[in-house]
Chains A and B, each alone.
Chain A
Amino acid sequence: MVNNDAVGEASDRSIPQSEVLLADDLRKAYGNRPALRGLSFTLQSGRVLGFLGPNGAGKTTAIRILTTILEPDTGSFFVDGVGSDHPERIRRRIGVLPESLGLPRYATALEFLTFFGGLYGLAAGAARSNALVLLQEVGLRKRAKNLIGSYSRGMRQRLGIARSLVNDPAVVFLDEPTLGLDPRGQQDLLELVQRIARERNVGVVLCSHALAEVESICDDVVILSSGHVVAKGSVADVIRQARGNVNQETAVRLQVPAEQLVKAHKLLEALPFVAAVSPQIDRPGWLRVDLDSEPERASDHGNGVLSSLIGASIPIVSFETQGGRLGDVFLQLTEGLGG
């Protein structure tokens, strides 16, 4: 058994046991330029927290502070009960997959993980056994003795995740883990992240620009903009909260078969409660329908849109209200707030 606390001290139990990460009013400035202005949030074990924000919002600074690479100007944080004034003890409790993961080309995955196991205080044999178990867990067992230089991008990311688990951490930070992966690779990796969080009961902080993937696997979310926290909570709460801010949405989006797109467009344009219909350039087959109605009647008019299409025998492949997705919330909350 490994005691993650090198000095064997009793851990600080002033925060609840399931709360593996607590950030309290973290602030950081580079010269006169503030990068982080009061970051506070908590993360429970076994949950995945999405860390979102446009470029320059302060995500990287926040992650580097929470992983002890940088020191905050003010504020504090706790990882698994250990305060930020004990960076070395915190490093024993966290695993990190940085955005730019450098891996040695002339080492095998087994050597690489064994080396890091050693740095965490494991004896050589135990470090090797641990490495093999982790490689099995991330699906690289058969390539354990291959040079890392021969790995694909997806394999390297999985190896990076295995590396972040070497010390059996309480919190894992994953910075853009799916960047550069094909759709299948992204899906596999996200499933792996979710499985790790559940099976190991670790808290996962997932930084990503891919809002759909954050929405699909994250339990909680923190949205940063210009160093400020503009939203935080469970994904559902944040979406609900954002929709509440504008009272009610007055637009819907729907997807119809490509051959029915023109017909649907004309039909919807003719409806009295529709102000405009426009194709979604970034989503082929989708139409955005702006409703010419008071917010309180938007729901009825949305149903009217659906009824009209069904009445005209136009199949509806997908339907969603504007503002019903995390991406909408993100755009709404960060609009005009440059990074």
Chain B
Amino acid sequence: MKDERTVGGTGVASAGRARPGWWLMFSREMADLWMGGKALNLVLVFSILLGLVAFVLATNSELSLIPPKEMVFEMVRLSLAASGFICLIIGADSLSGERERATLEGLLLTPASRRQLVIGKFLAAVSPWPAALAISLPYWVLLAQGDEAFAQAALWGSLLGTLVIPALAAIGMLVSYWSNTNRTSMFVSLGIYLVILVPTQLPGSAQAGSIGQLLKKVSPMEATYHFLEKIIVNNRTVNELTAFLFAPIVLAVVTIGGLVWYSAPRLRLEAGRVGQRKARGVGGVTALLLSLVLAGSGAPPANAQPTQIAGQPLDISIDMEFAVVNAGDPVMFNTAISNTSDDRSQPLIVAMNIINLDSQGDVVDPEDWSPQRTQYVGPMVPGQSVDLSWRVNAILDGDYMVYMVLIPEPNGLQATSRPIASSGIHLTVEPFTRLNPGGVLPIVIAIPTLLMAGVGFVMWRQRRRINQEDTE
């Protein structure tokens, strides 16, 4: 028996510390994906796609069709969808591809743990996401035109992307785990991807009502997009949208957990018989859907705004009479509420209203314009005055009237109150700073060009390595 052997029987000593299996696997996969060109080519296509869409959006901007916030949101959405797709198909190739190329057996014959091998592959499959994010950020900056939407997009887009995209890569790998051929793996993975995306394409009417709202929360991609849209475009706060974070979190935990803790140790040379594979696949998908449904149903309901009415002698004033701003600019003002009576007031609610003067008084939904649609004031003692600060984001150009309504809470079930209106702010919003589509072109051209140079370098390096003789 060979208790101790020199490596290769040649006396080569094993000095230094061995690297963990997952790191070795990750390094090899990274070299294969990036130096082999697959990931690099996909990211190149991604950058071209992003550039084209950015250019179209900039053109729309020139025509005043879409404000910067919405452009940024659209680009974030595209970035997530496209990077998720890239990671999904790389994941879908990772195990079935090894089976098809007959390289899996060699890996399984080593003493490295199968979980470590899978973790290394998973991390490599997710690697296009940071690259895609780095490529996306310049586009987001450019289209935001200095709007704070960029900061929100960068923060929440990258955070939610880091939840959803690894989950998609894990789904691809789980399918690949159960597939003997790449064709099956790709086909099933794309099917699942489409199923996940379907809720994001439902018409607005289908998203209304309790079922529609539930679907929005349960569908990971729709929940993600809804969250991002409300944060980036509508100035909503995170607290209001917590319910929409559940689905992406559950998706990430279930898929990545399932891959690493359940599937990885059971990795086999052959994916298994069809019956077993189907049963397990259906079981897995069912578990996934169930957990998502449970997460959705367990989520807290959206904030409900109580409406109550009461009345007392009170006064409300605004420190601004008119303002002329550009679309996208914020308008800041204060209101002062005074209790002019001799009695203690009821609790008070101050609500903001915005009327479009250009279109015969159409009501503008303040939700899209301000993070503060209403503010609450506690009971006021006689003679007390309270100042409230407000912010309105001028979303679209036009002529508007902004005014506040002070609503005392009713004094009982059978009591009512008289709301008191403030004077209005005549707000004129000039068309927003237009984006010259020509200004987008340098980035649209530069990023893919740089990536193509990278692809060219990789190809040159490969060609050089074909006939290079070792002179060591």
User: Which residues of A approach B to under 8 Å, CB–CB?
Assistant: 1-6, 11, 13, 17, 20, 64, 67-69, 80-81, 88-89, 91-94, 96, 98, 100-108, 110-111, 115-126, 129-130, 132-134, 137, 141-147, 149-150, 163, 165-168, 170, 199-200
Contact = CB atoms under 8 A, between A and B. Distances in A.
21 contacts: A1-B4, A2-B14, A6-B111, A20-B1, A69-B108, A92-B111, A116-B110, A117-B7, A120-B111, A121-B14, A122-B14, A125-B16, A126-B14, A129-B12, A133-B12, A142-B469, A144-B472, A145-B465, A147-B466, A168-B7, A170-B2
B28 A115 contact: yes
A107 B111 contact: no
Which of A17, A94, A115, A163 has the most chain B CB atoms inside 10 A of its CB? A115
B5 A123 contact: no
Interface stretch (B29-37, B78-86, B279-287): B29-37
A107 B32 contact: yes
A141 B16 CA distance: 24
A266 B472 CA distance: 65
A130 B9 CA distance: 9
Interface stretch (B17-25, B128-136, B163-171, B237-245): B17-25
Contacts of A108: 465
Nearest to A19: B1
A51 B10 CA distance: 29
Interface of B: 1-10, 12-19, 21, 24, 27-28, 31-32, 35-37, 98, 101-112, 268-269, 462, 465-470, 472
B378 to A, nearest CB: 67
B31 A106 contact: yes
Nearest to B105: A98
A134 B7 CA distance: 10
Given A80-B2, A116-B106, A134-B8, A121 B469 contact: no
Contacts of A93: 2
Nearest to A170: B2
Contacts of B32: 104, 106-107
Nearest to A106: B36
B464 to A, nearest CB: 9
Given A130-B10, A137-B8, A150-B467, A163 B106 contact: yes
A126 B1 contact: no
A234 to B, nearest CB: 23
A233 B355 CA distance: 98
Contact of B462 (A2, A3, A125, A147): A147
A69 B107 CA distance: 11
B102 A119 contact: no
Given A88-B111, A92-B111, A147-B466, A126 B13 contact: yes
A118 B1 contact: no
Nearest to A104: B32
A69 B105 contact: yes
Which of A3, A6, A102, A110 has the most chain B CB atoms inside 10 A of its CB? A102
Contacts of B36: 105-106
A81 B19 CA distance: 28
A102 B5 contact: no
A211 B469 CA distance: 37
Nearest to A97: B106
B16 to A, nearest CB: 3
Given A98-B102, A102-B103, A123-B18, A3 B10 contact: no
Given A142-B469, A147-B462, A126 B12 contact: yes
A294 B236 CA distance: 104
A111 B32 CA distance: 11
A44 to B, nearest CB: 12
Contacts of B102: 98, 100-102
Nearest to A12: B1
A119 B110 contact: yes
- What 3 A-B pairs come out closest when comparing CB atoms? A123-B16, A102-B102, A102-B103
A89 B112 CA distance: 11
Contacts of B9: 168, 199-200
A124 B18 CA distance: 7
A130 B12 CA distance: 6
Contact of A119 (B16, B21, B468): B21
B229 to A, nearest CB: 41
A166 B5 CA distance: 12
Contacts of A92: 111
Contact of B28 (A107, A121, A143): A107
A168 B6 contact: yes
Given A106-B32, A134-B8, A69 B14 contact: no
A133 B35 CA distance: 26
Contacts of B109: 67-69, 91, 94, 96
B106 A98 contact: yes
Contact of B111 (A69, A119, A199): A119
A137 B17 CA distance: 26
Nearest to B268: A69
A33 B6 CA distance: 43
Given A3-B3, A120-B110, A133-B8, 4 more contacts: A101-B102, A102-B105, A111-B31, A141-B470
Contact of B17 (A69, A123, A199): A123
A119 B10 contact: no
Which of B1, B15, B16, B465 has the most chain A CB atoms inside 10 A of its CB? B1
A124 B106 contact: no
A143 B469 contact: yes
B4 A17 contact: no
A142 B21 CA distance: 29
B8 A126 contact: no
B163 to A, nearest CB: 31
A272 B51 CA distance: 93
A20 B3 CA distance: 12
Nearest to A70: B269
A146 B14 contact: no
A2 B6 contact: yes
Contacts of A147: 462, 465-466
Which of B462, B465, B467 has the most chain A CB atoms inside 10 A of its CB? B465
Given A88-B111, A126-B12, A130-B12, A102 B106 contact: yes
Contacts of A104: 28, 32, 103
A150 B466 contact: yes
A163 B110 CA distance: 11
Contacts of B466: 146-147, 149-150
B110 A102 contact: no
Contacts of A200: 9
